[in-house]
Structure 1
Amino acid sequence: MLHKSRTAATAAVLIAALAAAPAHAWGKKEQNLLKGLAAAAIVGTIIYQSRNNSPAARSYSTQPRYYAAPASRTYQEPTRYKPAPKSSVYSTPAARAFNSYTASERRLIQSRMTDAGYYHGGIDGAFGPMTYRATKALAGDTTGTDQIATVSGAYEFYDLLIR
């Protein structure tokens, strides 16, 4: 209501100002000021009315809202994340076969895989993820990954590299 009365008061002041002096007697600045005030009053009224007619303004209610409580309150244990067990490269048949060789044979296997362009790690004789990836890639390109799926097949694969 206050905003409507302000708009009405602004309009009344504008009308009184127009009646007080002829428009042609005013300077250009006074006329532009009057136009600006009239435009501000009109835009303010439009914005005020659009806010009051919005769905959010109409849905507001002074009545309190009551929500029904659930019929029974029981505690339910939350489900917890359980990651799937990961198969470690250290427990694969290829790792078991690799680790059964002597240290010099293991370094020889790694150096042969380096020469073939499959192994890019240090020649340390230790079986790790890089050795496993190289073994799997080389087997996939030559004899097939089915061969290193068993310990006996992995022995055959590594024996071919040592010779």
Structure 2
Amino acid sequence: MLHKFRTSAIAALLIASTAAAPASAWGQREQDMLKGAAAAAAVGYLLMNSRAKAQQPARSQTGYYQPQTSYRQPQTSYRQPQSSYYPQPSYQQPARYEQPSYGSSDVYSTPAARAFNSYPLSDRRRIQARLSEWGYYNGGIDGSFGPMTYRAVTAFAGDSQGTTELTTVAGAYDFYGRLLR
């Protein structure tokens, strides 16, 4: 009750101070500014008191304070468990890199391979494309000499003129020259 009286008294004093000022001495702008300042002060005071009242704990009818309940959301954290059920991946590098060997001879060191690799990439792709057109090669047209290219070259040479010309680099050049025509 005393609080309401105090609030009303302050508001009345602010209004009276604006009304008591000599109105004839000020212009309309000055009077309007003073009224706005008084209204802002009164509203600010009322808001401040209402906030203070809201922060006070609630009293029951018996006069005892009732605690206010508040709920706070528990924080959840998502961590990957560090247990033996989730083994960490491991990579072991091989001791040394080795080219695969195919049969008794290594296809990468044959005269056919040396002659094939001496051609420019465009010619090597044309050789593979020709062998593919004729049904001897079914790999990718990438211009690299591997086991599939070796099998296609030897199969085509065996069907056409024999594989004896692939035993020397000069014979392999003649063979690939006929393929590129």
TM-score (norm 2): 0.43
Identify which of structures 1 and 2 has the higher relative contact order when contacts are C-alpha pairs closer than 8 Å and 6+ apart. 1
TM-score (norm 1): 0.47
More helix by share: 1
Indicate the structure (1 or 2) with the bigger Cα radius of gyration: 2
